[in-house]
Structure 1
Amino acid sequence: MSIASIAAPHRPPRRPWAWLWLFGASQLLMLALWWRFGWAAGLLAMLVSHGAMFWGTLWPRSRLFGPVLARLPTQARAMWLTIDDGPSDDTPAMLDLLDAYGAKATFFLVAERAAARPQLAREIVRRGHGIGNHSQSHPQAWFWALGPGRMAAEIEQAQAGLRAVTGVTPRWFRAVVGMANPFVSASLKKLALARVAWSARGFDGVRGEPDSVVARIVADFRPGAIVLLHEGAPHGNNVAIVEGVLRAMKDAGYVAVVPE
């Protein structure tokens, strides 16, 4: 199989506020149970409904608030490499590695960082890789809890900024730390962005031991896997980790494809 694009469902949210009606209905049900069966039943219903909202926000592959792609629909020995958090000092070396292995990837860029290093963002595009929206400023600690106004600004300003810097309009969005609260979907629908999660990760954003990180990712190699990688982490080993993943893919007969 040659390296090429692969068909994948590009599904922006269709009903970004459906969750609000469902949540409202669940609260009416809670009140009815409280009235009919007492406080214990009502409290249990409240915990279940609020727990579902937290699960939908914190679990990266949750579809509670809208579609999310976690695996490519193929049985071929092909995977999608996705690299978050750039551009960074690691970007040139990663581009050289991808060239050396004849691999393509999608870089989910932080728009503020792309604006600060426009030549790197444009070089990613020039070498034939994809660009994804990974927020305007990467508010790692609080992205999951942003309100509707700030959430819209993070996604929509990033879309405009990345288009201005690279000349490319991103089609894919990845939530910061993978956590997407109910307010994400409205902007995704407006911008025709589809949300992407992953099916293989090694926690390389925080862990810097190349051998153990690569081994964890390799354990999740599957046809159609979406591999989560990072660049620019403080531990300084992201380039070595990407090289290890590329080598393991080659040894296992996998190729890197992008659904662009």
Structure 2
Amino acid sequence: MSPATLHRPPRHPHAWAWVFIASQLGVAALWWQMGWRIGLPALVATHLVVIWATLRPQSRLLSPVLSRLPTRERVVWLTIDDGPSDDTLPMLDLLDKHDARATFFLVGERARSRPEAVREIVRRGHGIGQHSHTHPQAWFWALPPRAMRAQIDEAQATLAALTGMRPRWFRAVVGMANPFVAASLKRHDLARVAWSARGFDAVMSDPQRNLARIERGLAPGAIVLLHEGAAHGRSVETLAGVLARMDAMEYRSVLPEALDTATAPVPASQPL
């Protein structure tokens, strides 16, 4: 697996703006030459493309995104969002029991309030990714440039200070990354991660139904999306079911850092 395949921060984070400006000039020309009956649908279509690219977690239109690992082996990448929480230590114990590894995508302000849990994740050999600073679930997709930069900058600084390592992976809140995400990802050498298997366990309380949905997405190289600290209180049960099912299907978990040393975290004191 090549470094370019696994860890791909945006190289041209403002390219979308030039493409969009060009598209609007084209729309203006259409409107001028052919009238509003053609120009208006063209205007709507160009805006809908940007909205679609923002709301679809796997879209690569605005920035690169990793949705699965390029492998034929029976391995998956377990990713756990929204922590740390009261569930963190029980989940770590479950992962230890199944000799499994996961990447925890942590929220900056939650990590700041539970530094021991963050350090325990690292001590037990798991990965750390970042998942914004305050987790503005309803509005992350619509944040303007300054607010978006603050969310990513503050989370990165917090997690680097707590762990001594700079996270290399980023997951947008609810997976939705608007055009202003890419610049901050490039600045911090962060690569965006989506998923290929999910159970909606952040909101759905039935672990068995969550497991059934995740199982439909299990395949070599799947990236599995899980959550901790859900309001329904059954996140640990869902993880237990996933790990047991993986064992039964002879899948093992793997971190991207184990597949390619180029994805390993960078010490916080070392310049990128």
Range of TM-score over shorter length: over 0.9
Q: Residue 107 of structure 1 corresponds to which residue in structure 2?
A: 104
Q: Residue 265 of structure 2 corresponds to which residue in structure 1?
A: none
Encode CA deviations 1:68-102: one digit per residue, 9 max, x unaligned.
00000000000000000000000010000000000
Q: Whole-Å Cα distance in 2 between the matches of residues 231 and 6 of structure 1?
A: 31
* Secondary structure class of the residue paired with 1:30: helix
Q: Whole-Å Cα distance in 2 between the matches of residues 247 and 256 of structure 1?
A: 12
Matched, 1:59 2:61: no
RMSD of equivalent CA atoms: 1.2
Contact 1:86 1:107 in 2 (8 A): yes
Q: Whole-Å Cα distance in 2 between the matches of residues 192 and 19 of structure 1?
A: 19
Could you tell me how far 1:38 is from its partner in structure 2?
A: 1.1
TM-score (norm 1): 0.97
Encode CA deviations 1:88-145: one digit per residue, 9 max, x unaligned.
0000100000000000000000010000000000000000000001001100010000
Q: Whole-Å Cα distance in 2 between the matches of residues 54 and 205 of structure 1?
A: 24
Query: How does 1:137-216 map onto structure 2 within 5 Å?
Result: 137-216=134-213
Of residues 243, 249, 252 in structure 1, which corresponds to 2:249? Answer: 252
> Aligned residues: percent identity?
62
Encode CA deviations 1:34-91: one digit per residue, 9 max, x unaligned.
1111101001110110000100100000111110000000000000000000000000
Could you tell me how far 1:210 is from its partner in structure 2?
A: 0.5
Q: Whole-Å Cα distance in 2 between the matches of residues 107 and 68 of structure 1?
A: 17
Over 3 Å counting, the alpha-carbon distance change for 1:161 and 1:170 in structure 2 is: same
Any gaps of 5 or more consecutive residues in structure 1? Answer: none
Q: Whole-Å Cα distance in 2 between the matches of residues 219 and 23 of structure 1?
A: 37
Matched, 1:29 2:26: yes
Could you tell me how far 1:162 is from its partner in structure 2?
A: 0.3
Q: Whole-Å Cα distance in 1 between the matches of residues 41 and 148 of structure 2?
A: 31
Q: Whole-Å Cα distance in 2 between the matches of residues 172 and 160 of structure 1?
A: 14
Matched, 1:75 2:72: yes
The one-letter code matched in structure 1 to 2:149 is A
Q: Whole-Å Cα distance in 2 between the matches of residues 168 and 107 of structure 1?
A: 14
Any gaps of 5 or more consecutive residues in structure 2? Answer: 258-272
Contact 1:6 1:257 in 2 (8 A): no
Q: Residue 16 of structure 1 corresponds to which residue in structure 2?
A: 13
Q: Residue 269 of structure 2 corresponds to which residue in structure 1?
A: none
Q: Residue 118 of structure 2 corresponds to which residue in structure 1?
A: 121
* Secondary structure class of the residue paired with 2:217: coil
Q: Whole-Å Cα distance in 2 between the matches of residues 193 and 92 of structure 1?
A: 26
Point out 4+ residue stretches in structure 1 off by more than 4 angstroms.
5-8
Aligned positions, number? 256
* Secondary structure class of the residue paired with 2:22: helix
Q: Whole-Å Cα distance in 2 between the matches of residues 131 and 100 of structure 1?
A: 20
